[in-house]
């Protein structure tokens, strides 16, 4: 813009006026060039192409890309770093559960296994009421005696529920009704834990005394905690402990049990039955039951009244007849 001069200012010199005129003309030409520049239509500039292996790379100074690859972004624009995919960890080998050791009862009671059996033995019975635990315990005891051993000590939890009662019975000799004291089983659920603790004390005392190298525990043992302490106490004293589990269906147990347990009680106990720990050695008693069944069948088949009688009287009668005939012939001669 041209400065306006004050009317009071002195007149410029001629050289100054020419200089001022040149500046004015230069300003006009510059403004005209600017107008022509901004008003002129644009033209397409040919893209710059690089020769060589980098041909086809976007323009060096383009805003959309860089000759060095993608535009570097700031950390907040990049987002969280993506972890490189790792190889899946190796799968662990499937765990093979150790099967419990099983011992046959014949290897303990019968020769030749009897000679190499442990010196001190404890057999813990398991089974529902009426499954036959007491029957098997009696078979083991009798077989041990038959093979020359001392009778094992049998501890029965049911004995703690036996109470003495007075009953009126008929005397078979006189036929009179007399009062007698007898032992009867009376189950008291609230006393079971107390009786089990008393049985454990008796068992530990039997272990300490050392009078019985062979002990049998005849109890239901539906829970592991009911016999785990017996197992530990016997192992501590150097006894070899075997677990004999007797199985039978609930219907049979309800019919055979003689302690008044109902089918509902037995079913409830069966549903809540706990499996035996794997580290405890099992005792297979099937051979003993088979032997007992065979002996029972043989005893049923054997009847002394059915034995054939020797024909002594017939032979004697025949001898008498021959004698009489001989006598007749003698007399006839």
Please check whether residue 109 is in contact with residue 144, taking contact to mean a CB–CB distance below 8 angstroms: yes
Stretch 230-251: mean pLDDT: 95
Please check whether residue 178 is in contact with residue 169, taking contact to mean a CB–CB distance below 8 angstroms: yes
Stretch 75-81: mean pLDDT: 59
- On whether residue 78 sits in a domain, the answer given is no
Stretch 13-36: mean pLDDT: 66
- Domain with residue 114: its CATH number is 3.40.50.300
Task: Name the DSSP letter for residue 40.
Answer: S
Type and span of the H or E element at 240: strand 240-245
Per-residue confidence (pLDDT) for residue 291, from 0 to 100: 82
Residue 227's pLDDT band, with cuts at 50, 70 and 90, is very high
- On whether residue 84 sits in a domain, the answer given is no
- On whether residue 325 sits in a domain, the answer given is no
- On whether residue 134 sits in a domain, the answer given is yes
Please check whether residue 214 is in contact with residue 118, taking contact to mean a CB–CB distance below 8 angstroms: no
Q: Is the peptide bond before 112 cis (omega within 30 degrees of 0)?
A: yes
Structural domain that includes position 120: 102-161+187-301
pLDDT tens, position by position, 159-192: 888 887 777 777 778 878 888 788 887 888 899 8
Task: Name the DSSP letter for residue 313.
Answer: H
Q: In terms of C-beta density within 10 A (0-12 exposed, 13-18 middle, 19 or more buried), how is residue 242 classed?
A: buried
Q: Say which range, 221-225, 288-292, 324-328, has the weakest mean pLDDT.
A: 324-328
Count of domains in the chain? 1
The tokens describing 145, both together, are: 């005696």
pLDDT tens, position by position, 261-319: 889 999 999 999 999 999 999 999 999 988 877 766 655 555 555 555 555 454 444 55
Stretch 250-270: mean pLDDT: 89
The yes-or-no verdict on residue 1 having pLDDT over 70 is no
The yes-or-no verdict on residue 57 having pLDDT over 90 is no
Q: Say which range, 16-25, 84-93, 266-275, 303-312, has the weakest mean pLDDT.
A: 303-312
Share of the chain above pLDDT 70, in %: 65
Handedness of CA 327, 328, 330, 331 (dihedral sign): positive
Q: What is the CA radius of gyration of the chain?
A: 57
- On whether residue 49 sits in a domain, the answer given is no
Stretch 199-203: mean pLDDT: 95
Mean pLDDT for the chain? 77
pTM score above 0.85: no
Is beta strand 102-104 parallel, antiparallel or unpaired with respect to 281-284? Answer: parallel
- On whether residue 315 sits in a domain, the answer given is no
The yes-or-no verdict on residue 326 having pLDDT over 50 is no
- On whether residue 138 sits in a domain, the answer given is yes
C-alpha distance from residue 165 to each of 159, 179, 185 (Å): 14, 10, 10
Q: What are the φ and ψ backbone dihedral angles of 36, each rounded to 5 degrees?
A: -65, -35
The yes-or-no verdict on residue 198 having pLDDT over 70 is yes
* Alpha-carbon gap, residue 270 to 127, rounded angstroms: 9
Task: Name the DSSP letter for residue 68.
Answer: T
Please check whether residue 159 is in contact with residue 259, taking contact to mean a CB–CB distance below 8 angstroms: no
The better pLDDT of the pair 21, 129 is held by 129
Task: Name the DSSP letter for residue 185.
Answer: E
The better pLDDT of the pair 63, 231 is held by 231
- On whether residue 55 sits in a domain, the answer given is no
CB neighbours of 35 closer than 8 A, spacing ≥ 6?
A: none
Residue closest to 122 by CA, chosen among 241, 243, 265: 241
The yes-or-no verdict on residue 322 having pLDDT over 50 is no
């Amino acid at each position: 813009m041209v400065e306006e001069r004050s009317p009071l200012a002195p007149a410029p010199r001629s050289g100054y006026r020419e200089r001022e005129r040149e500046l004015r003309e230069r300003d006009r030409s510059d403004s005209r060039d600017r107008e022509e520049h901004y008003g002129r239509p644009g033209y397409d500039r040919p893209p710059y192409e690089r020769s060589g292996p980098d041909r086809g790379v976007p323009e060096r100074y383009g805003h959309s890309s860089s000759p060095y690859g993608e535009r570097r972004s700031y950390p907040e624009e990049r987002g969280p770093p993506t972890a490189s995919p790792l190889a899946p960890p190796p799968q662990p080998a499937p765990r093979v559960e150790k099967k419990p050791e099983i011992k046959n009862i014949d290897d303990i009671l019968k020769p030749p296994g009897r000679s190499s059996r442990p010196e001190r033995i404890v057999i813990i019975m398991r089974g529902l009421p009426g499954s036959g635990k007491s029957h098997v315990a009696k078979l083991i005891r009798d077989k041990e005696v038959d093979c020359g051993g001392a009778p094992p000590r049998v501890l029965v939890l049911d004995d703690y529920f036996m109470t003495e009662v007075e009953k009126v019975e008929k005397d078979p000799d006189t036929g009179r009704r007399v009062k007698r004291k007898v032992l009867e089983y009376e189950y008291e659920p609230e006393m079971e834990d107390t009786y089990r603790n008393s049985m454990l004390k008796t068992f530990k005392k039997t272990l300490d005394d050392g009078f019985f190298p062979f002990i049998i525990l005849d109890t239901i043992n539906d829970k592991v905690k009911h016999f785990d302490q017996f197992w530990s106490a016997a192992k501590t004293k150097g006894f070899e402990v075997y677990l004999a589990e007797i199985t039978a269906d609930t219907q049979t147990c309800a019919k055979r049990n003689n302690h008044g347990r109902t089918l509902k009680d037995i079913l409830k106990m069966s549903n809540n039955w706990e499996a035996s720990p794997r580290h405890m050695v099992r005792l297979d008693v099937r051979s003993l039951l088979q032997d007992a069944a065979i002996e029972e069948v043989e005893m049923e088949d054997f009847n002394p009244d059915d034995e054939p009688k020797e024909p002594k009287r017939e032979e004697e009668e025949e001898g008498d007849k021959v004698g009489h005939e001989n006598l007749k012939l003698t007399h006839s001669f």
